[in-house]
Chains A and B, each alone.
Chain A
Amino acid sequence: MPDLHTDPFLRVSNIEKTFGPEAVLHDVSLTLAQQRTLAVLGRSGCGKTTLLKILAGLETADAGRVVVEGEDVTDAPAQSRGIVYLYQEPLLFPHLDVFENVAFGLRLRGVDKQSIKEQVDRMIGDLGLRGQEQKRPNQLSGGQRQRVAFGRAVIVNPRLLLLDEPFASLDVETRALMQQLYTRIAEAYAITALFVTHDLKEALLMGDEIGHMRAGRLHVYPSRQAFINDPNSGVAQEVAFWERIKS
């Protein structure tokens, strides 16, 4: 019987994955406490998305285990894991309006109509989408679509939220607003999340903890300071760049 007081909320152990001759993930392990966000920094093609898809149950690992709240979900289908994967593109259901997109997961669970209305109304308010309820996805801006996708994921109260570079396609200003929104919502809804990004600043802003992925290997830093001090993290180069600009 797992001890939830001492065991981490999420434990990922020794994940291996190869596609043909190419090793995409090599001995990836991590732990994450409840209501914390682990930001995983890494370049494109380093295996970040594959790791998230394995955690979500959309891809199978060649080896390793995934344990959430003491439950081994390694072989469980995606629909019974309680782990929601948020795509890089705000993948909204094109035949549904904003209200129905947000309500989607609740309808799958057979939640009663009144409760759905109350929960969705509250979520739409929290997301700053009041007045947009009846709009279709093609009538929304990129930032609005990403907010709807975020609300649709959060409203089902997932055990773990996986965010795969969710703000990568947004402009700088919208991205900053979305980062603030994420921080606020994550706190309000007690979200536990893995936030994948290739943006150094975003990793620092979003993550309570920070990991760095290189060529399929993940290194999770013991503290933010350890990440900042690591010469390979890119922080030193970033600081040096701004120092040069300043001088």
Chain B
Amino acid sequence: MSTSEHPRRGGRIGAAVVAVACVAPFVYLLVLSFAERWAFPDVMPASWSGRFWVRALTGGALTGSFGISLVVSLLVAVVSTAAGFVTAKYVAYHRHRQRLLLLAYVPFAMSPVILGTCLMYLYLRAGLVGTVAGVVIAQTTFAYGYAIVLFTAFWSPRTKDLEALVYTLGGSPAQAYRRVLLPVAKGALLLCFFQTFLLSWFQYGLTLLIGAGKIQTLPLKVYDYVNEANPYNAAVASCLLVLPPVLMLWANKRALSSGGLQVSSSP
């Protein structure tokens, strides 16, 4: 055996350990969701059942929460990605770019719960507390700021020149967006949609506060089940919570690996 094989084998073992550490919690959740009785110190459940999944998938409370979470997160992702894309252009090309960009960071300066508390009176007066619209608006406040920060890097002088080039070639602003800006921004748009969806999908504190407990998204459901000492339902809810991000990650794999924020592939 050559000496160079030792580091290679060590690397493989290290990679395997990291992979197991990453995957193990999800495998555990999946096993727990199919368990009926699993007492300490048993290594595996004493009996198995799919009834928690059947209940979750056939119109139980979890189905409703999954639906609400999906609607809220999709709305937040679509609105903040679209609005962030347009706003970032204005910010990036503004002569006070740095000052405006600072404003986009404001939502990150305080925790979502603190910001939610600060805005609570406003939401109460607007009749938005305890509504899906209120939760979407509150979460979009964060996601929108994130999208602006992300897209400001896209709207570079080079992008501005590309747009100007379309105009001098006879194109309208709509053609510039459709034929050049959106295709060139595809990676960044996918990345932003994915990230803002995740920001919303896992949001807990702000949803609890603005939703006033009436808008039961999946993260709230997980916490409820954990508080009720109902680990099997919590496991099912957690599996459902993980499912969309995994699917999106799989769908976005190529776009993300090819460099979502690259404006141009030419030097």
Whether both chains belong to one complex is answered with yes
Which B residues touch A108, using CB under 8 A? 166, 169-171, 175, 179
- With A87-B161, A92-B266, A138-B265 as known contacts, state yes or no: A109 contacts B170, CB within 8 Å: yes
Which residues of chain B from 19 to 33 have any CB-CB distance to chain A below 8 Å in the complex? none
Q: How far is the CB of B102 from chain A (nearest CB, A)?
A: 23
Residue pair A137, B265 in contact (C-beta under 8 Å) = yes
How far is B147's CA from A153's CA once the two chains are assembled, in angstroms?
35
How far is B166's CA from A156's CA once the two chains are assembled, in angstroms?
12
Chain B CB within 10 Å, residue with most, of A81, A108, A152: A108
The answer, yes or no, to whether B267 is at the interface (CB within 8 Å) is yes
Which A residues touch B170, using CB under 8 A? 79-80, 82, 105, 108-109, 156
How far is B166's CA from A107's CA once the two chains are assembled, in angstroms?
11
Contact of A94 among B171, B172, B184 (CB under 8 A): B184
Residue pair B265, A58 in contact (C-beta under 8 Å) = no
- With A108-B171, A108-B175, A137-B265 as known contacts, state yes or no: A95 contacts B183, CB within 8 Å: yes
Residue pair B165, A85 in contact (C-beta under 8 Å) = yes
Which residues of chain B from 156 to 176 have any CB-CB distance to chain A below 8 Å in the complex? 158, 161-162, 164-172, 175
Cβ-closest chain B residue relative to A149: B165
How far is B172's CA from A104's CA once the two chains are assembled, in angstroms?
13
How far is B168's CA from A212's CA once the two chains are assembled, in angstroms?
25
- With A93-B180, A93-B184, A95-B183 as known contacts, state yes or no: A105 contacts B266, CB within 8 Å: no
How far is B169's CA from A156's CA once the two chains are assembled, in angstroms?
7
Which B residues touch A92, using CB under 8 A? 266
Q: What is the predominant secondary structure among interface residues of chain B facing chain A? A: helix
How far is B143's CA from A221's CA once the two chains are assembled, in angstroms?
59
Which B residues touch A156, using CB under 8 A? 169-170
The answer, yes or no, to whether A151 is at the interface (CB within 8 Å) is no
Which A residues touch B47, using CB under 8 A? none
Which residues of chain A from 61 to 120 have any CB-CB distance to chain B below 8 Å in the complex? 77-85, 87, 91-95, 104-105, 107-109
- With A105-B169, A105-B170, A152-B169 as known contacts, state yes or no: A94 contacts B164, CB within 8 Å: no
Q: How far is the CB of A140 from chain B (nearest CB, A)?
A: 8
Which A residues touch B166, using CB under 8 A? 108
Which residues of chain B from 123 to 178 have any CB-CB distance to chain A below 8 Å in the complex? 158, 161-162, 164-172, 175
Q: How far is the CB of B126 from chain A (nearest CB, A)?
A: 40
Which A residues touch B4, using CB under 8 A? none
Which B residues touch A153, using CB under 8 A? 169
Cβ-closest chain B residue relative to A108: B171
Residues of B at the A interface (CB closer than 8 Å) are: 158, 161-162, 164-172, 175, 179-180, 183-184, 186, 263-267
Residue pairs across A and B with Cβ atoms less than 8 A apart, 25 shown, are: A57-B168, A58-B168, A78-B167, A79-B168, A79-B170, A84-B168, A84-B169, A85-B164, A85-B165, A87-B161, A87-B165, A93-B180, A94-B184, A94-B264, A94-B266, A95-B180, A95-B184, A104-B169, A105-B170, A108-B166, A108-B170, A137-B264, A138-B266, A152-B169, A156-B170
Given contacts A94-B266, A105-B169, A152-B169, 4 further A-B contacts (CB under 8 A): A85-B168, A91-B165, A104-B179, A138-B265
